[in-house]
Amino acid sequence: MNARKGFGRSLSRRAFLRRSASLAKAAALGAVASPALVRSARSSSGELNYMGWSGYHFDELFRKFTDRTGITINFIDQPDQDSMLAQARLGAQTAAADIAEPSIDRLPAWIDNDLLQPWNEGNVSIDAYDKAFLTQSGMVNGRRFFLPIVWGTEALTYSVKEAPMAYGTAALADLFDPRFTGKVTLRAHSSLAAMGRVLEAQGRLPRPWLDSYKDPASMRQLWDIALAEAVKHKANVVQFWIGENDAEAAFRTNGCTLGLTWDATGQTLSADGFGFIAPKEGAFGWLQGYVLLKAARNVEQAHEWARFIATPEGSAAYATAFSANPTASGAIDLVDAKIKDFYRRAYPADALSKIWWWPPQPTWFVALRGEYADKWRAA
């Protein structure tokens, strides 16, 4: 999944966060002004060339960072991850950017192109992060190349009245249960992955589901099995969704009572009698973060930014500006109260530690994934 598309742009949880940004950022950034938030005020000076997502407003956050450290941020906006990677390759020798912001499933492409250097773990406040987001996928040969900053999930949206769910019993298998015939909405490729994980949990696969991300032959073997089993339960599916608007319409207009959707959809529908919960197998998760370019000229300034953004206040302010979930420990307590309440209901107990992060998805995989999604829709 392209992480940028995964966030969505409809009036949703993300839009709600933008509407409340002035209040949340005022509170968070007021706290950011505390001298304790940056290890040593003005310990470095100069600039930081930051390549990130276009369409978001970080000016106030950047200004606070500059006020505290003397470091000016030059923001290089890009519309998507492919553009970031292409720009980094073009500027590999000229150090056009110091840091960039891909999702973790795209990290291998940056490594394969020899564009990155590892972060100095002793210089980025690594203990400030919630350990749920310090995944091994961010490590290469024992060195950390990825620092998490925001995340989101795909999990179960359900009708509180007609399809009540509770953490610990709610399961991906419910999506294919006959009791929900004619009541389910799914995204084609992620629902096949859900079926694969269900079959693996039931001991019905010849090898681990994650093997399907290793090579085309393994992918075809496992996805053939998942597709054949999913087709047996096609009667459950009222509608395949692509974006947030049609996912919401599946519940509001087309009579769905259960679906595998983004958290943004669950938040939007929460005012209409729907809940959102992580399944017992673990929600599908995307994770976005920072990489340090190999040709970076401002390495200490990059680490200064990493320390700043790993504080609860900095993390909450960034997540609010970006309309996603924060990764620093304690940051969730500083976001809007309604969002915090939704978060705690959606991810209770050990739900964060059980998130199933989307694995690296190379070009060949994305092409085959689309092929299977088309077969599933047409079945």
Model pLDDT for residues 155-195, shown as the tens digit of each residue: 999 999 999 999 999 999 999 999 999 999 999 999 999 99
The predicted pLDDT at position 20 comes to 45
Region 288-309 average pLDDT: 96
Do residues 166 and 308 touch, judged by C-beta distance below 8 A? no
What value does the mean pLDDT of the chain take?
A: 88
Question: What is the number of alpha carbons within 13 Å of residue 102 lying toward its C-beta?
Answer: 27
Q: Which CATH number fits domain 152-284+356-378: 3.40.190.10, 3.30.70.120, 3.20.20.70, 3.90.1150.10?
A: 3.40.190.10
Judged against a pLDDT cut of 80, whether residue 266 lies above it is answered with: yes
| Residue 147 host element (H or E) | strand 147-159
- For residue 94, what pLDDT is reported? 65
User: What proportions of the chain, in percent to the nearest 5, are helix, strand and coil?
Assistant: 50, 20, 30
3-151+286-348 against 152-284+356-378: fold identical? yes
Can you read off the two tokens belonging to residue 67?
């006020």
pLDDT the model gives residue 42: 39
Q: How far is the C-alpha of 178 from the C-alpha of 343, rounded, in Å?
A: 30
Residue 38: is its pLDDT beyond 50?
Answer: no
In three-state secondary structure terms, 34 is coil
Does the pLDDT value for residue 226 go beyond 90? yes
pLDDT of residue 23: 41
Q: Tell me, what's the pLDDT at 281? A: 96
The distance of Cα 44 from the centroid of its chain, to the nearest Å, equals 31
Taking only the tens place, the pLDDT of each residue in 98-112 is 999 999 988 988 998
Question: Which DSSP category does 360 fall into?
Answer: P
Interatomic CA distance for residues 140 and 161, integer angstroms: 47
Can you give the residue ranges of every domain in the chain? 3-151+286-348, 152-284+356-378
Does the domain formed by 3-151+286-348 have CATH 1.10.3720.10? Answer: no
What's the whole-number mean pLDDT along residues 299-327?
A: 94
**For residue 120, pLDDT beyond 90:** yes
Report the pLDDT averaged over residues 343-363. Answer: 92
Asked if 212 and 196 touch (Cβ cutoff 8 Å), the reply is: yes
**Res. 95: pLDDT tops 60:** yes
Contact yes or no for 155/346 (Cβ under 8 A):
yes
Q: Is the dihedral angle over the CA atoms 38, 39, 45, 50 positive or is it negative?
A: negative
Could you please report the per-residue DSSP string of 73-142?
Answer: EEEEEESSHHHHHHHHHHTTTTT--SEE--BGGGHHHHHHTT-EE---GGGTTGGGB-GGG--GGGEETT
Closest CA relative to residue 266, chosen from 291, 295, 241: 241
